[in-house]
Every structure is written in C-alpha cells, then in structure tokens.
C-alpha cells in the first residue's frame, strides 16, 4: 500500500483498534509472550499504550505521535512497544489504570504506562502532545540506562499499592448491620447532593448517562415513596432523550455530552451504554408511562438491528465518533439540508429540532428537542397525531439522506459481556411492550452466544472474523448469566436457567475467592499479570462483583439454592460500609441493597397463554421480584412451580414471600393488589 509503507505485528490482530495501528512506524506488538519475553531478553523498558476504537483522543495521539516517523524512531530505540485494546483486555487495562491512579494522576484513554522489563510500572499518563511525548520517551530512555535504580525504586513503591487486595485497601470487613429503608434513604440523599434540578443528571459537565444510578434512584423512589428521587429520574430521562446526546434521527445514545445540557455529544456510540439504557427506559416507562420512553426504546432497538447486528446475531461493539476525519460529521445538518429534504414540513421540523444557521458551529447543527410533543403541537396549533406522523416521515427522510454519507468506522468485534447487557435490554423491552421483534433479536443473540462463545460452561470474550478468542472475564460471565435469567423470565424455557446455573458454577470454581467472599476479575487459569484485581466499583458498566452478587441472589431464589443466596448476602455485607458511605460509586450494589430492605416477591404464573399474561404483569414496576411460569400441560423442575396448577381453569397467579404464600388469584390486577399490601 503506497500510502501505508509500514506494517507491524498488529496486522495479524483481530481487534479493530489494534488494526488501526498496524501501519504505524512504531514497532508495535500486541500484549503477549513474544513482546514480554523480548523486553526481558533485551533488558528494555516497555511502553504499554491502551485505548479503544471509538476513543477520539486515542486517534489524535496516534495521528500526532505514533504516525510520526521521528517519534516512532525514539520509541523503537528505547522501548518494547505494546498496544492494548482495553475492550478485549480489560484485565491489563485495570492493572495499569490502577497504577496511574497510584501515581496520583487522573486516568482515562489513551492510557500510556512505562514499565520495567518485568512489567512493573514506574510512570504513566494519558494523552501527551507530540513534542512532550518525544521528550518524555527520550528522557525515560536515558534515565533507564543511567539511573535505573530510581525507576526500580518507583516501581517497588507502586507495586506495594497494586499488590494490596481490595478487601484490605477499602476495609471491606463483613458487617452484621440490618438492611433498612432508612439507610436506603440516606444513600439517595447522597446522590441528591449533586442533582442538576434543571436538566437532570449531575450538576457538572461532562455528563454521562449512568443507567446504574437511575435504576437505583427509581427503586429507592418507589420503595420509600421518595418523590425527589422519582422526579429526578423522570427529569433526567426526559432531557437525555431530548438532547443531542440521543441520536434524534436514527436512535441510540452517544457516549456522553460535553456540556451541562445533554446537548453536545461525544458522538461515539457504545453497545454497553445502549443495552443498559434500553433496560432503564423500559423501567421508566413502567413507572411514568411516558410515550417518549417507548419511542426511545423502539428507535434504539431499530438502530441496534440496522447498524449493530452481525449476520450471526451477535452485536457489534461501537461506532466511532469521527467520519472523514471530523468528529460528528455523520450526524450534523445544515438548515438548507432540512429545507431541501423536507419541503413543506421543513419550517416545522426546523423548529422541532432547533435547527439554525448553526446551533453548534457555523452551518453545523445537532438536532435536539426542547419540550414534549404535546407542548410543541399546542404551540403550533396542530393535532398531536399529525405532529407525530410528520416527525416519523422526517426521520425517515433524514435517515435515508444520512445513509448516503460516509459512515463512521464500526468496531465489529463482538464482546460477550456487552452482548449480555443488550440481551437483558431486549428481554426487558419485550416484557414491557410485547413486541415480537424484540424477543426474536434476543433469542438469536442468545443462541449466537451459546454456539460461538460458550463451551461446557466456559465463555470466550471476543468474536471476530468467525473466531472466538480470549478467555472470558468475570464481566462476561456476570452479564451473560443475567441475560440468560432475563430470557427465562420472558420465555419460561428452563434451558436458559440451566445455562445460567452452569455459568454460575464455573464462575464460583474459577473466579471466587472464598476467604474474601468476592470474585476476582480473571479466572484461576488466566494469564498471570503483576496483580490480580477484584472489580468492586461501578464504571459505566456495573461492577462485575455487584452483578454477580445480584445474579447469585436472583438465581438462588429461582432455583431454591440457599448457598447462592447466602454467598450473595455475604458479598453485600462486605460492601455494606462503603456502599452506605459512597453509593455514587457503587450504585449497582446500592440497587441490590434496595432488594434487601423488604421481602422478595416470588411470582408464579400458570397460564395457557403465558406471553399475554406476562405482558400484563410487566405493565407495572415491581422493584424486587422473581418470576417463574409454566403452561398447565408442561412439567417443571423448578421448586417455585411445584404444585402450581390452574385454579378454575383460568390463568392463575401465585404470590409468596419468605416461603409464605398468598391466596392464588386469576388476574394481574388482583396480584398487584396483593403486592401493594406487602
């Protein structure tokens, strides 16, 4: 290739992020034995540069520094250079992100760590401008040769921090405190300290959509009848969907907004965000009944099916922020484009989407909304149905026109854990809205995972070019187990529970640390890194330990396995002190905590038409429940269905708490009345 004369070892990688660097003049290696042995054999320090395909500043640093032949020559002279896709190797990313934090620096990506030949870190940072990066590489190369003892001393100090277990580091001593609604209220007050009471979210920028936060606040608001929490969730969901953060034309949420108003997005779209946000908007719809939330779920799943689904049924990882070298170009509009595409509807839709001569930059508009459909229709004196028809027609025309543009790069690797999050979102969407397409997508995805990523209870992490690679991490096991349980609760096919149980048994065998009653992020059989981490705190993806605790509790209730329930309780008791102190960093733990403040509703359905009765059941939000069901003519092995039959030859709902049962009833409304009494 004339314009890409260099080729390094990344050309053999499957990761789109690594492949982006395959023609850098830097002599990149992927993380692995070859590079690590070379560093030891040649006694050279290591640069580990970590990023991901949709990371804007990763691209900037590549263009400025890694494509520069002079800078590459410095790196190649002094270092063994390793490139890591953090999405494929979150274990490596965790270790060196912790190291950068131990250095007193703020983390982020690109993450650049400098290591001794034995992988111990002595310096690091995130983005460096080209001149500063070149000077730093030269300086470290010189210090390594002339004052190596100083680097050894730094590495020894950082290893003392990295080598401590999370239980020791955070004082995770098991407590015997009661789980109470009062403590739940105290947690909500800590969240409320940072509420933006105008546009929702937190009162600072950038603003990330954090599904774990709002799923907790929704539960706390319902459990404690806390209107402040409920109002904030509603406010946030409205403004996130109205803002530029959300792709008004094609559906799907972008990574975050750079401002306080959810207006200017960082245009990359990630699967893990959207999977969780589908679940959140389904739950929001159950509580608030806003048609906007239903529209958001439908449009986001349309985007998933159209742009993010592989022929085999797996879901791709991400869409880049940039196209044609410009951030957001694919998603931006001019007022003249609206006029030429929309004809007589142009003026109305220009007002609807706040299009000007440039609402972001000159002749660059990000479509966003300012109010409800009802308020807009009233303002323009048109019928609501007419407005919604015009909006649908507008989005169709704009989407067709946008389809002719050069698309952002697609990160087409399929990550198991992220697919598990979207699988749950699809199951929730089917349960709440009864749309068959959602279930078909979910089933196809689940079968893809079984056929390609799952062998005898063990998972692979990544799928690309027809091949699965990299052993799964705790995140993968936890998210897929959750997805399979959700799929059971909308199909009542007990095979999905059996798969969930098999994954759980593997997780306990390979990841569980019995002494500390928590799970490692990597399996016992995984490559040994300089530290073995336990993921306690949420990021945008929930803590894998919090997910596993919830799974153990949920699956233990469904299968009547007391050991699972006890392990889940033990995990929560370990976290009790810090989740009470800092729930903002442990929102998924806080959500699990909310389930322990009152008994779990055990709901059994016996019906000749399970899908219709299930749909009725999911029309209201039940913050703490497990659901089992069967056709009266089908035998079940589940303890919660033992002895459950039709009463009066009609659909029958059974409700139990703590092994004490209510009288069976024949419709969902009667069941909801029973639920309200407890």
The answer to whether residues 165 and 99 touch, using CB atoms and an 8 Å cutoff, is no
Average pLDDT on 154-158 reads 95
The answer to whether residues 636 and 630 touch, using CB atoms and an 8 Å cutoff, is yes
pLDDT band with cut points at 50, 70 and 90 for residue 5: confident
Strands 28-30 and 80-85 come out as parallel
**CATH code 1.10.10 region(s) in the chain:** 335-407
- Token reading at 251: 């559906």
Please tell me the distance from the alpha carbon of residue 591 to that of residue 328, in angstroms, as a whole number.
Answer: 35
Please tell me the distance from the alpha carbon of residue 656 to that of residue 579, in angstroms, as a whole number.
Answer: 29
| Range scoring the smallest mean pLDDT among 38-47, 307-316, 570-579, 607-616 | 607-616
Picking from 140, 231, 165, the residue whose alpha carbon sits closest to that of residue 192 is 231
Please tell me the distance from the alpha carbon of residue 561 to that of residue 627, in angstroms, as a whole number.
Answer: 16
| 264 backbone dihedrals φ, ψ, rounded to 5° | -90, 110
CATH number of 335-407: 1.10.10
Picking from 256, 259, 276, 278, the residue whose alpha carbon sits closest to that of residue 267 is 256
- Print the SS3 string covering 233-288: HHHHHHHHHHCCCECCCCCCECCEECCCCCCCEECCEEHHHHHHHHHHHHHHHHHH
Please tell me the distance from the alpha carbon of residue 173 to that of residue 155, in angstroms, as a whole number.
Answer: 29
Average pLDDT on 435-449 reads 98
pLDDT band with cut points at 50, 70 and 90 for residue 633: confident
- Token reading at 33: 């034995």
Average pLDDT on 115-126 reads 97
pLDDT band with cut points at 50, 70 and 90 for residue 78: very high
Picking from 159, 149, 122, the residue whose alpha carbon sits closest to that of residue 45 is 122
- pLDDT by residue (tens digit) across 200-213? 999 999 999 999 99
State the pLDDT at residue 3.
Answer: 56
Element (H, E) at 540: none
3-state DSSP assignment of residue 114: strand
- pLDDT by residue (tens digit) across 186-235? 999 999 999 999 999 999 999 999 999 999 999 999 999 999 999 999 99
The answer on pLDDT for 522 being more than 70 is yes
| 21 backbone dihedrals φ, ψ, rounded to 5° | -105, 10
- pLDDT by residue (tens digit) across 243-271? 999 999 999 999 999 999 999 999 999 99
State the pLDDT at residue 456.
Answer: 83
Looking at 146-285, which runs of residues are DSSP E strands?
256-257, 265-266, 269-270
Please tell me the distance from the alpha carbon of residue 231 to that of residue 49, in angstroms, as a whole number.
Answer: 43
3-state DSSP assignment of residue 459: strand
3-state DSSP assignment of residue 372: coil
Please tell me the distance from the alpha carbon of residue 273 to that of residue 431, in angstroms, as a whole number.
Answer: 20
Residues contacting residue 501 through CB under 8 Å, at least 6 positions apart: 555, 559
Sign of CA dihedral 631, 636, 640, 642: positive
**CATH code 3.40.30.10 region(s) in the chain:** 9-164
The answer on pLDDT for 659 being more than 90 is no
Please tell me the distance from the alpha carbon of residue 520 to that of residue 347, in angstroms, as a whole number.
Answer: 57
pTM of the model: 0.96
3-state DSSP assignment of residue 354: coil
Name the CATH superfamily housing domain 9-164.
Glutaredoxin (3.40.30.10)
Name the percent of the chain lying above pLDDT 90: 92
**CATH code 1.50.10.10 region(s) in the chain:** 181-328+411-595
Average pLDDT on 641-645 reads 92
**653: β partners:** 605, 665
| 506 backbone dihedrals φ, ψ, rounded to 5° | -60, -40
pLDDT band with cut points at 50, 70 and 90 for residue 612: confident
**b/e 163-186 (16+ beta carbons within 10 angstroms → b):** eebbbeebebebeeeebeeebbee
Looking at 207-258, which runs of residues are DSSP E strands?
256-257
State the pLDDT at residue 2.
Answer: 42
The answer to whether residues 272 and 540 touch, using CB atoms and an 8 Å cutoff, is yes
pLDDT band with cut points at 50, 70 and 90 for residue 4: low
The answer on pLDDT for 7 being more than 50 is yes
CATH class of the domain defined by 181-328+411-595: mainly alpha
Radius of gyration from C-alpha coordinates of the chain: 26
The answer on pLDDT for 149 being more than 90 is yes
Element (H, E) at 543: none
Please tell me the distance from the alpha carbon of residue 49 to that of residue 46, in angstroms, as a whole number.
Answer: 10
Neighbours of 347 (CB within 10 A): 12
The answer to whether residues 424 and 482 touch, using CB atoms and an 8 Å cutoff, is yes
- Print the SS3 string covering 44-87: CCEEEEEECCCCHHHHHHHHHHHCCHHHHHHHHHHCEEEEEECC
Please tell me the distance from the alpha carbon of residue 327 to that of residue 169, in angstroms, as a whole number.
Answer: 40
The answer to whether residues 587 and 183 touch, using CB atoms and an 8 Å cutoff, is no
The answer to whether residues 24 and 71 touch, using CB atoms and an 8 Å cutoff, is no
pLDDT band with cut points at 50, 70 and 90 for residue 1: very low
Quickly tell me which residue has 């300089």 as its tokens.
530
- pLDDT by residue (tens digit) across 12-27? 998 999 999 999 999 9
Q: Across all residues in the chain, what is the average pLDDT?
A: 95
| DSSP 8-state code for residue 537 | S
Please tell me the distance from the alpha carbon of residue 105 to that of residue 103, in angstroms, as a whole number.
Answer: 6
């Amino acid at each position: 290739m004339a314009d890409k004369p260099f080729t390094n070892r990344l050309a053999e990688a499957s990761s789109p992020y690594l492949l982006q660097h395959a023609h850098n003049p830097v002599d990149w290696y992927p993380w692995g034995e070859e590079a690590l042995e070379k560093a030891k054999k040649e006694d050279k320090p290591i640069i580990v540069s970590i990023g991901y395909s949709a990371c804007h500043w990763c691209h900037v640093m590549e263009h400025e520094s890694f494509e520069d032949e002079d800078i590459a020559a410095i790196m190649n002279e002094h270092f063994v250079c390793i490139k890591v896709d953090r999405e494929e190797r979150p274990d490596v990313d965790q270790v060196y992100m912790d190291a950068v934090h131990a250095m007193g620096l703020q983390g982020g990506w690109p993450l650049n760590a400098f290591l001794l030949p034995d992988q111990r870190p002595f310096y690091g940072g995130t983005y460096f401008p080209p001149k500063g990066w070149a000077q730093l590489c030269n300086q470290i190369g010189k210090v390594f040769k002339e004052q190596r003892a100083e680097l050894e001393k730094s590495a020894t100090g950082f290893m003392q921090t990295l080598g401590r277990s999370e239980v020791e580091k955070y004082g995770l001593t098991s407590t015997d405190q009661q789980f109470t609604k009062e403590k739940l209220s105290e947690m909500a007050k800590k969240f409320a300290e940072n509420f933006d009471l105008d546009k929702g979210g937190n009162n600072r920028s950038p603003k990330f959509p954090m599904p774990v936060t709002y799923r907790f606040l929704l539960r706390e608001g319902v459990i404690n009848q806390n209107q402040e929490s409920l109002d904030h969730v509603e406010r946030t969901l409205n403004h996130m969907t109205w803002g530029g953060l959300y792709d008004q034309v094609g559906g799907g949420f972008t990574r975050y907004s750079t401002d306080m108003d959810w207006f200017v997005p960082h245009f990359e779209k990630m699967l893990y965000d959207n999977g969780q946000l589908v679940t959140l908007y389904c739950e929001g719809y159950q509580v608030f009944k806003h048609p906007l939330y239903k529209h958001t779920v439908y449009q986001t799943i349309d985007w998933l099916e159209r742009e993010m689904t592989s022929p085999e049924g797996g879901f791709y990882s991400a869409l880049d922020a940039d196209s044609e070298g410009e951030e957001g170009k694919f998603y931006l509009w001019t007022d003249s484009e609206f006029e030429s595409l929309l004809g007589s509807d142009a003026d109305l839709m220009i007002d609807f989407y706040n299009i000007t001569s440039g609402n972001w930059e000159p002749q660059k508009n990000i479509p966003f909304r300012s109010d409800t459909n009802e308020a807009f229709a009233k303002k323009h004196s048109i019928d609501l149905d007419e407005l919604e028809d015009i909006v649908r027609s507008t989005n169709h025309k704009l989407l067709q026109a946008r389809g002719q543009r050069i698309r952002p790069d697609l990160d087409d690797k399929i990550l198991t854990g992220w697919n598990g999050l979207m699988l749950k979102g699809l199951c929730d969407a089917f349960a709440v809205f009864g749309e068959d397409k959602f279930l078909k997508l979910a089933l196809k995805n689940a079968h893809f995972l079984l056929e390609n990523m799952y062998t005898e209870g063990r998972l692979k992490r990544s799928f690309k070019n027809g091949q699965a690679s990299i052993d799964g991490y705790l995140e993968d096991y936890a998210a897929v187990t959750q997805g399979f349980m959700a799929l059971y609760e909308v199909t009542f096919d007990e095979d999905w529970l059996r798969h969930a149980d098999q994954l759980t048994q593997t997780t306990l065998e390979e990841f569980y640390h019995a002494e500390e009653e928590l799970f490692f992020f990597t399996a016992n059989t995984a490559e040994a890194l300089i530290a073995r981490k336990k993921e306690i705190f949420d990021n945008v993806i929930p803590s894998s330990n919090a997910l596993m605790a919830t799974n153990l509790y949920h699956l233990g209730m469904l299968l009547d396995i007391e050991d699972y329930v006890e392990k889940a309780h033990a995990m929560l008791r370990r976290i009790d002190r810090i989740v009470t102190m800092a729930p903002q960093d442990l929102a998924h733990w806080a959500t699990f905590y909310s389930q322990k403040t009152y008994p779990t509703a055990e709901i059994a359905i016996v019906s000749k038409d399970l899908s219709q009765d299930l749909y009725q059941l999911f029309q209201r939000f039940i913050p703490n429940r497990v659901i089992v069901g069967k056709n009266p003519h089908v035998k079940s092995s589940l303890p919660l269905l033992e002895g459950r039959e039709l009463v009066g030859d009609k659909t029958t709902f059974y409700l139990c708490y703590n092994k004490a049962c209510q009288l069976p009833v024949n419709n969902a409304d009667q069941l909801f009345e029973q639920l309200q009494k407890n």
